[in-house]
Amino acid sequence: MSEPAITPELVKKHNLTTEEYAKVLEILGREPSYTELGIFSVMWSEHCSYKNTRPLLKTFPTKSPKILVGAGEENAGIIDVGDGIAIAFKIESHNHPSAVEPFQGAATGVGGIVRDIFTMGARPVCAINSLRFGELENPDVRRLFSGVVSGIAHYGNCFGIPTIAGEVYFDKSYEGNPLVNAFCMGVLRHEQIARGAAKGIGNPVFYVGPATGRDGLAGAAFASQDLTDESAQQQRGAVQVGDPFMEKLVCEACLELLATDAVAGIQDMGAAGLTCSTCETAARAGTGIEIELDKVPQRAPNMTSYEIMLSESQERMLIIVKAGREDEVKRIFDKWDLPWAQIGHVTDTGRMVVRMGGKIVVDVPAKKLADEAPVYHRESKEPEYLKAVRAFTLDGIADTAIPVDHLKALLSTPTIASKNWVYRQYDHMVRDGSVVLPGSDAAVIRIKADSLPLLSEELKSKVTEFTGEKFIAMTVDCNGGYVYLDPYEGGKTAVAEAARNLACSGAAPLGTTDNLNFGNPHNPELFYQLKESVRGLAEACRAFNAPVTGGNVSLYNQNPNGPIDPTPTVAMVGIIEKKEYITTQWFKDEGDVIILLGDVADKNDQLLGLGGSVYLQKIHGKKTGSPPRCDLEKEKTLHSTLLGLIYSGVVKSAHDCSEGGLAVALTESCISQNIARETPRLIGAQIDLSESKDVRLDALLFGETQSRIVISVKPMDAVKVLERAKLMGVPAAKIGTVGGSDLKVKTVAGEFSAPLTQLHDLWWNAIHRAMQ
């Protein structure tokens, strides 16, 4: 079959600029073949190369003594958690595919991140996700929302991984461009870390997993351009189709194979498929790689080299096997009834050479292709809209006169309401490790011996068997509205909230993985959002000693109506040193004393925490105002004080104040414990805020001032806790008592109360109602 001639139009169609194409010509010393053009196009897309963000990503803190595999080194970062055990984790986006085909787009997003984890030699043990959609009044948003959730459920449930936490926000800016960020964590021993490197000249290269089809052609390039109606229509074919059953088999077979020590290197075929996996493994090892496409299992007839190299068919792996050990691959993959093929070998040429039909169709220097993508320092300019945001005051905003009605309205807002409609579709308990289920500030998972991959015979004799348990907490957070209104503060707050959620569960941070979801980087105002929020994220990750171990960048998130709210999603993982420290957000026993750690409102903030709040958006229809400030020193002291109290055994519940402020946090502590189907455990509270005389009522109840945590303690411990907090320099006050079947709140403006059954119904069923 003759290949198209390389014309400027064809180059442009591949999203390569004139300068980029000139660089291709320079690297090759000749005109590329059609397949090579496709290869450069995908490898130099933002999705694979981070060409627009690399200078920013370098500013993240990425080191700590616990980091065993750092950011950018491999498919996922790895952190030591003690006793020879480590965790591998990463978050990745599948936004554009989910916009086009929500079910498969989201499903394959889960598949891709799970593969990244077992590629590292780790056994995937849990998943979490972060989702953004438009408002549920729009039927098309409902279609996307339910499609994405069932896609995640389909893949995760069948694979057998518990999806144990997540967050969902609904905002008009995400209409037509939903965000689907999927996170996976795996567990392994230090000695079991596998590398994606094509080591050992002459070693055979194996392809394992299902055959290659035309699906997902050039998905990485698709993800790196603005999403328009037209592109979505055209690109439907760029969305891959996932098969979680196949992935389960491939995972088990790969872990079994890794335990034989026959593997020299392993890499999944994710974005840019066979292209990315071959050139990256060679680049990492400083070797070359040669493959024959005629040997690649193919699902469709007459596939061209271009199609085979760029296909993103799912659940495929590239394995570099130690020469002489080929039979072990065959034995194990035959056992699991999986296709395999020996397609090439490692060379010493430093080149990635691809043959088809006896001819060389690709011959490029692997390292230059993988590592020397152009890097751009994009122009940034402060967006015009920020002037109005900063100028906003509360002058024209009447204080609340009907606080109980406003509380009910906030509890029924989908962003604040319970997400049980979502997580009850996910198997969140498989693998017998889910200690804190979805619905508290952070999920907690137990690691035990069978969380680990199989040990090789050699390792079995070398290491002491792990018989204990470890408890890992994780959370994912980002208030995109805050980031829109103040990219720097919003970035800091995303990290601070994640760290606060971990602290509330009794965990100290280990590390962070971030997913930067932004608009078109060529727009200086949008690039400003990216740059400033990265500055905030980096500063906060440093402050909380939660270095970034990897992540993902998704740009060009916009729909015909404009860009999304900038959304740098932060997934943070922490360790809970002892089982006794595990803490949940709901009140436990009648008579317990409720204490607020932190200020009632930030008096240095002229909006008192109402800027960007859900209250201001939902009740007053205004998405503006500078969002709450985030003082990192204050926040750190708060977390260490809370953890100290938890370690001393006095904290019975801890819940942070976030969207909806103190009133929503208190209500959630009363109603969020779920015993079983249709069986919540409701426990009331009498709250007295009448001491706070100089704060507007709406700011007091619904303001979103940062650095605040509601805890409950036994009456006999209350004085001790207040003193301890004061000693640490954390404002603390007794604000009420647990008990009864209502939430009663006394303020200078009077008292209001509501039965918990009603509050629970509004909060628990809001999304069900919106979806009916």
Task: List active site positions.
Answer: 47, 94
Candidates 42-50, 286-294, 411-419, 424-432 — which segment interacts with another protein by CB under 8 A? 424-432
Give yes or no for residue 678 binding another protein (CB under 8 A). yes
From 22, 391, 398, 429, residue interacting with another protein (rule: CB under 8 A): 429
Residue 676 φ/ψ, nearest 5 degrees = -165, 180
Give yes or no for residue 465 binding another protein (CB under 8 A). no
Candidates 19-27, 529-537, 541-549, 673-681 — which segment interacts with another protein by CB under 8 A? 673-681
Give yes or no for residue 466 binding another protein (CB under 8 A). no
CA separation for the pair 438, 424 (Å, rounded): 9
Q: How far apart are CB 166 and another protein at their closest, in Å?
A: 13
Q: Looking at beta carbons only, is 475 or 674 nearer to another protein?
A: 674
Strands 434-436 and 351-356 come out as unpaired
Tally of CB atoms within 10 A around 193: 17
Q: Which of residues 229-258 bind another protein (CB under 8 A)?
A: 243-246, 248-249
Q: What angle do CA 658, 663, 664 make, to 5 degrees?
A: 50
Asked if 258 contacts 310 with a C-beta cutoff of 8 angstroms, the reply is no
Strand arrangement, sheet containing 288-292? 263-268, 317-321, 204-208, 340-347, 288-292, 351-356, 359-365
CA separation for the pair 439, 475 (Å, rounded): 11
Candidates 61-69, 151-159, 485-493, 560-568 — which segment interacts with another protein by CB under 8 A? 151-159
Count of residues that interact with another protein, criterion CB under 8 A: 37
Based on its alpha-carbon atoms, the radius of gyration of the chain, rounded to whole angstroms, reads: 26
Q: Looking at beta carbons only, is 244 or 574 nearer to another protein?
A: 244
Asked if 96 contacts 222 with a C-beta cutoff of 8 angstroms, the reply is yes
Q: How far apart are CB 119 and another protein at their closest, in Å?
A: 19
Residue 341 φ/ψ, nearest 5 degrees = -155, 140
Q: How far apart are CB 518 and another protein at their closest, in Å?
A: 33
Which is nearest to 514 in space by CA: 548, 544, 484?
548
Which secondary structure element, helix H or strand E, spans residue 77, and what is its range?
Answer: strand 77-82
Q: Which of residues 570-589 bind another protein (CB under 8 A)?
A: 579
Q: How far apart are CB 328 and another protein at their closest, in Å?
A: 17
Q: Looking at beta carbons only, is 464 or 679 nearer to another protein?
A: 679
Which is nearest to 759 in space by CA: 771, 741, 747, 739?
741
From 674, 686, 692, 747, residue interacting with another protein (rule: CB under 8 A): 674
Candidates 21-29, 184-192, 417-425, 518-526 — which segment interacts with another protein by CB under 8 A? 417-425
CA separation for the pair 574, 73 (Å, rounded): 22
Backbone angle region of 583, left / alpha / beta, with phi > 0 → left and psi within -120 to 50 → alpha: beta
Give yes or no for residue 423 binding another protein (CB under 8 A). yes
Q: How far apart are CB 336 and another protein at their closest, in Å?
A: 7
DSSP 580: G
CA separation for the pair 292, 322 (Å, rounded): 19
Give yes or no for residue 676 binding another protein (CB under 8 A). yes
From 24, 232, 254, 435, residue interacting with another protein (rule: CB under 8 A): 435
Q: Looking at beta carbons only, is 230 or 678 nearer to another protein?
A: 678
Q: How far apart are CB 430 and another protein at their closest, in Å?
A: 6
Give yes or no for residue 143 binding another protein (CB under 8 A). no
Q: How far apart are CB 161 and another protein at their closest, in Å?
A: 8
Which secondary structure element, helix H or strand E, spans residue 21, and what is its range?
Answer: helix 18-28
Candidates 443-451, 512-520, 594-602, 627-635 — which segment interacts with another protein by CB under 8 A? 443-451
Give yes or no for residue 455 binding another protein (CB under 8 A). no
Give yes or no for residue 430 binding another protein (CB under 8 A). yes
Give yes or no for residue 1 binding another protein (CB under 8 A). no
Q: Looking at beta carbons only, is 469 or 691 nearer to another protein?
A: 469
Give yes or no for residue 342 binding another protein (CB under 8 A). no
CA separation for the pair 1, 308 (Å, rounded): 14
Q: Looking at beta carbons only, is 143 or 726 nearer to another protein?
A: 143
Q: Looking at beta carbons only, is 160 or 374 nearer to another protein?
A: 160
Asked if 612 contacts 628 with a C-beta cutoff of 8 angstroms, the reply is yes
Give yes or no for residue 694 binding another protein (CB under 8 A). no
Tally of CB atoms within 10 A around 20: 17
Burial classification of residue 388, based on how many CB atoms lie within 10 Å of its CB (0-12 exposed, 13-18 middle, 19 or more buried): exposed
Give yes or no for residue 330 binding another protein (CB under 8 A). no
Give yes or no for residue 150 binding another protein (CB under 8 A). yes
DSSP 162: -
CA separation for the pair 725, 243 (Å, rounded): 52
Tally of CB atoms within 10 A around 650: 18
Q: How far apart are CB 452 and another protein at their closest, in Å?
A: 11
User: Mask of contacts with another protein, 98-137, x by CB under 8 A?
Assistant: ----------------------------------------
Q: How far apart are CB 680 and another protein at their closest, in Å?
A: 10
User: Mask of contacts with another protein, 159-188, x by CB under 8 A?
Assistant: xx----------------------------
CA separation for the pair 152, 166 (Å, rounded): 12
Give yes or no for residue 675 binding another protein (CB under 8 A). yes
Distances 343 to 296, 319, 349 between C-alpha atoms, Å: 6, 10, 17
Q: How far apart are CB 580 and another protein at their closest, in Å?
A: 11
Give residues in contact with another protein (CB under 8 A): 150, 153, 157-160, 243-246, 248-249, 336-337, 423-432, 434-435, 446, 448, 450, 469, 579, 674-679
